[in-house]
Amino acid sequence: MQNTFNERRFVIKIMFLVVGAIFILRLFFIQIIETKYKFSADNNVLRYTTEYPLRGLIYDRNGELLVINEASYDLMIIPRQVKAFDTLEFCTLLDIEREAFDKKFDAAKRYSTYKASVFEKQISKETYAVFQEKMFHFPGFYVQPRTLRKYPRPIAAQCLGYISEVTQAMIDEDSYYKSGDYIGVSGIEKSYEDILRGKKGLKIKLVDVHNREKGSYKDGIFDTVPVPGKNLYTTIDAELQAYGELLMTNKKGGIVAIEPETGEILALISAPNYDPNLLVGRVRSRNFSALYLDENIPLFNRALMGQYPPGSTFKMINALIGLNEGVITPQSRIGCSLGYHVGGLTVRCHPHPSPCDVVSSIQYSCNAFYCSVFRSIIDNKKKYRTVRAGFNMWRSYLESFGLGLRLETDLPNVGRGNIPTDAYYDRLHGRNRWNSVSIISLSIGQGELGITPLQMANVTSIMANRGYYIVPHIVKAVGHPSNQLKKFTVRNNTKIDSRHFTYVIEGMHQVVEAGTARNAKIDSIAVCGKTGTVQNPHGKNHSTFLAFAPMNSPKIAITVFVENAGYGSTYAAPIASLMIEKYLKREVQRKELETQIINTNLMQSR
């Protein structure tokens, strides 16, 4: 019995010794070897500062800087470290109202009394220089450096885009972002956010009881270095962009110019526009509200999202479809008696020589010719059993031109336009109760058609390329000019045989030489173009024009839409012509025409 008791006592002693040894070893590990607990305890005297990377710069196609970075500072606050101070001096230094100060301070305390939060965002380097000298008077506050975007030239706001503070939804979607971070929300700032933003770094500083920095924690072994964002090299020609915006002063509409061979966007203009510097810094919120409430909607990108009937500029597509389908030949001649007449319907036309073949029908923009061609396409009983089948075939041709589809460009918020479907006409007229006459307005680019300036500029590139296009895009290289993107190199072929373009292009040339756009002629440059006057049920007609030049070696394809400007030849044609001259010659000789266009105020006359 005694032996059993002694054995149990021995076992209990061993258990106590083992447990004691475990505790001792654990305490040794925690206090001597493992540092994370000490690191956590030291949080009371450590300051974590995010090192924001420099956002990538943005250049134009010729190496001119479009977007740069400028130093700014966020004033941070840790409420529990704040001591009594002169709030009047504080507010005066930062140019804020006392009421605003109280709201910000209360918001910081609600967020956390011991975690840092932003008290005042985007303080300029000038304001910071003054504030820094007296910051020791304001315990609990410190400054976190960051950068703001700056635009050396006030151009291309809608395609460059802007950055804004992240929302909670954005933070929930991407863990990279934290409260107070900034993100691209429009334009290429949004499209190329992952490339432009870089990678954040972190610095950990020791601070004393007066919130003064005393050096790096652990000699900076836990610090990380920010990685700058990569630069973007765009396809934009800054000179052409600025010139187009100047021509569109006091006008509404959109302009897109493309290099046909490559699909590179040379200029993308939405009017009215705005100075991109308005959406930078502490004034951003006030300016954004003013732009958002402006009745002319300058934040709306008409070049990408504006949806307009193409008018007579659409006739060339119907000519090409008619030729490809074999319902007409280049020599087919159709008469016009001031319009197209069928039953009780008349589609009016203006006086011009008659009858017309393909070339002269484009030159004189004959409505009767295209009504007749359109009906021959849709009602081609030799190839299609029903009107529906003929219509869907016609529609498939349009899709091969990129119409009714969202072009897979590198710009966000691109509209797809509208090409009506057979289901739409079933709903409108009743199933199988519509025919080619019911939808005859499509023959001349009216009716339910809606096409964006970007899409129509792409159509113009197709004409210049004799049947194919490269998807329009605005960035050509990332990181270095030699690091060109491979994504935008694929040819997209239309369903039209290339041989048919010869006749349409000759018609476009005659439009400028002796047709409806003689005011678009440029000395020593063969321009091919087409005017359009777009019916507008809400007011004066829209003016549109598309063109490319030179005729046999195209370097620029352009589309211009000017809202409420009347005939295509009145404003859209001369604007396109001046831009072609500016791009190809770098200097405009027709100063009188230039001055007239710049000084015309079409917004006032509405």
pLDDT for the residue numbered 557:
98
CA distance 281 to 70: 10
pLDDT-derived band at 26, boundaries 50, 70, 90: low
Least confident of 123-132, 427-436, 500-509, 541-550: 123-132
Question: Quick one: average pLDDT of 3-15?
Answer: 65
pLDDT higher than threshold 80 for residue 32: no
pLDDT tens for 44-82 read 577 777 888 999 999 999 999 999 999 888 898 989 888
For residues 315 and 477, what is the distance between their CA atoms, to the nearest angstrom?
36
The C-alpha atoms of residue 377 and residue 106 are separated, in whole angstroms, by 71
* Across 215-223, average pLDDT: 80
240 sits in which H/E element:
helix 238-247
pLDDT at 290: 94
**Which pLDDT does position 39 carry in this prediction?**
47
Let me know if 7 is exposed, middle or buried by CB neighbors in 10 A (0-12, 13-18, 19+).
exposed
Weakest mean pLDDT among 15-29, 297-311, 559-573: 15-29
Q: Is the pLDDT of residue 604 over 70?
A: no
AA letter at 177: Y
pLDDT computed for residue 605 by the predictor: 47
- On the 0-12 / 13-18 / 19+ scale of CB atoms within 10 A, 92 is exposed
354: helix, coil or strand? coil
The pLDDT confidence band at residue 458, using thresholds 50, 70 and 90, is very high
300 SS3 class: coil
- Judge contact between 562 and 544, C-beta under 8 A: yes
pLDDT band at 36 (very low <50, low <70, confident <90, very high): low
Give the helix/strand (H/E) hosting 345: strand 345-348
Per-residue pLDDT band for 14 (boundaries 50, 70, 90) equals confident
Kindly indicate the confidence band of residue 6, based on its pLDDT and cuts at 50, 70 and 90: low
Q: Using CA atoms, how far apart are residues 254 and 305, in angstroms rounded to an integer?
A: 10
Q: What is the structure's pLDDT at 301?
A: 96
CA distance 247 to 590: 13
Q: Which of 78-87, 292-301, 391-400, 523-532 has the lowest mean pLDDT?
A: 78-87
For the domain spanning 238-274+301-599, the CATH number is 3.40.710.10
Residue 579: φ, ψ to 5°: -70, -40
Residue 373: which residues within 8 A CB-CB, separation 6 or more? 318, 319, 322, 327, 328, 334, 443
The confidence band for 606, taking pLDDT boundaries of 50, 70 and 90, is very low
Q: How is residue 47 written in tokens?
A: 């300051």
Sign of CA dihedral 223, 229, 230, 231: negative
Task: Please give the structure tokens belonging to residue 526.
Answer: 């063969």
Counting residues of the chain whose pLDDT is more than 70, the rounded percentage is: 93
Mark 49-73 as b/e (b = at least 16 C-beta within 10 Å): bbbbbbbbbbbbbeeeebbbbeebb
For residue 512, pLDDT beyond 90: yes
- The reported pLDDT for the residue numbered 113 is 84
- Is CATH 3.90.1310.10 the classification given to domain 46-68+146-234? yes
Structure-token match 């919120």, residue found: 285
The single-letter DSSP state of residue 515 is: S
**According to the model, what pLDDT value does residue 102 have?**
92
Contact 403, 492 (CB under 8 A): no
- Looking at residue 498, its pLDDT comes to 95
**What pairs with residue 559 in β-bridges?**
256, 546
- Residue listed under structure tokens 């113009």: 460
The arithmetic mean of pLDDT across residues 285-299, rounded, is 92
Position 225 pLDDT exceeds 60: yes
Query: Is the pLDDT confidence value at 359 over 50?
Result: yes
Question: Strands 232-234, 253-259: parallel, antiparallel or unpaired by DSSP?
Answer: unpaired
Q: Which position has the higher pLDDT, 453 or 43? A: 453
Task: Report, in angstroms and rounded to the nearest whole number, the Rg of the chain calculated over CA atoms.
Answer: 33
Whether the per-residue pLDDT at 302 is higher than 70: the answer is yes
Note the pLDDT tens digit of each residue in 151-171: 999 999 999 999 998 989 999
Mean pLDDT across the chain, nearest whole number?
90
Residues 6+ apart with CB under 8 A from 115: 78
Residue range 127-148: mean pLDDT, rounded = 87
pLDDT in tens, 363-418: 999 999 999 999 999 999 889 989 999 999 999 999 999 999 999 999 999 999 99
> Residue 505 and residue 341: Cα distance in Å, rounded?
28
- What is the mean predicted confidence (pLDDT) over 314-342? 95
What residue segments make up the domains of the chain, in order of their start?
46-68+146-234, 238-274+301-599
pLDDT of residue 572: 95
Q: DSSP string covering 222-256, please?
A: T-B--BPPPPEEES--HHHHHHHHHHTTT--EEEE
Tokens coding 561: 């839409």
Instruction: Read off the pLDDT of each residue in 343-357 and give the average, rounded to a whole number.
Output: 91
Residue 51 pLDDT: 84
Q: Can you read off the two tokens belonging to residue 159?
A: 């395609």
Residue given tokens 């990569």 in the structure block? 230
